[in-house]
Amino acid sequence: MTRAAVAVAAFVLYATSAAAETIGCVTTEWKLVGANHKVCVESFNDPKIPGVTCHVSQARTGGISGSFGLAQDPSQFSLACRQTGPISLPDRLPKDAVVFSEDTSILFKETRVVRMWDEKNRTLVYLAISRKLIEGAPANSISTVPVMPWGGR
């Protein structure tokens, strides 16, 4: 794959993924030098499905390498997605689509949230995975959002 193709693929992934908002972080281990180890919670809205908000918590490595963004964060996360407004499904919903992606190391590792559509049960399924180009990780978390009427409708 050429550099241009890699750049285009990265841009497309970034353009279709949701931007996360940090809700807060909790220190899990105090470090004498550098940033503390912590767990951070971020929220994001599904970019293609209005009315769905997800929250993901992820472990963040501290220390000197974590302070400079050079640490590899562990594949430890949790995911919760909920209906937060009226859900409007597009006419054609792909079988699966990346809705969130965030790097968890300086090279080749990311946390990714993929949306799947369970048509039989009219349920949106969100799967968080840890992706690593060389030795993938089985770490994952799942959350479901049944598509139901909102409010008095």
Query: What would the pLDDT profile of 27-50 be if each residue is shown by its tens digit?
Result: 877 777 776 778 889 999 999 999
State CA 35 to chain mean position distance.
23
**Where are the domains positioned within the chain?**
3-146
pLDDT at 126 over 80: yes
Q: C-alpha angle 97/99/102, rounded to 5°?
A: 125
Supply 73's token pair: 């964060």
Residue 24's pLDDT is 94
Mean pLDDT of 13-30: 73
Q: For every residue of the chain, which 3-state class applies, written as one string?
A: CCHHHHHHHHHHHHHHCCCCEEEEEEEEECCCCCECEEEEEEEEECCCCCCEEEEEEEEECCHHHHHCCCCCCCCCEEEEEEECCCCCCCCCCCCEEEEEEEECCCCCEEEEEEEEEECCCCEEEEEEEEEECCCCCCCEEEEEEECCCCCCC
Task: Kindly report, residue by residue over 83-105, the tens digit of the pLDDT.
Answer: 999 998 998 888 899 998 876 66
Q: Are 124 and 81 in contact (CB under 8 A)?
A: yes
pLDDT computed for residue 146 by the predictor: 96
Compute the mean pLDDT over every residue in the chain, rounded to the nearest whole number: 78
75 vs 89, residue with greater confidence: 89
Residue 15 pLDDT? 41
Q: Which of 33-42, 59-68, 142-151 has the highest mean pLDDT?
A: 142-151
Gyration radius from the chain CA atoms: 17
Alpha carbon distance 92, 58 (integer Å): 32
Percent of the chain with pLDDT over 90: 35
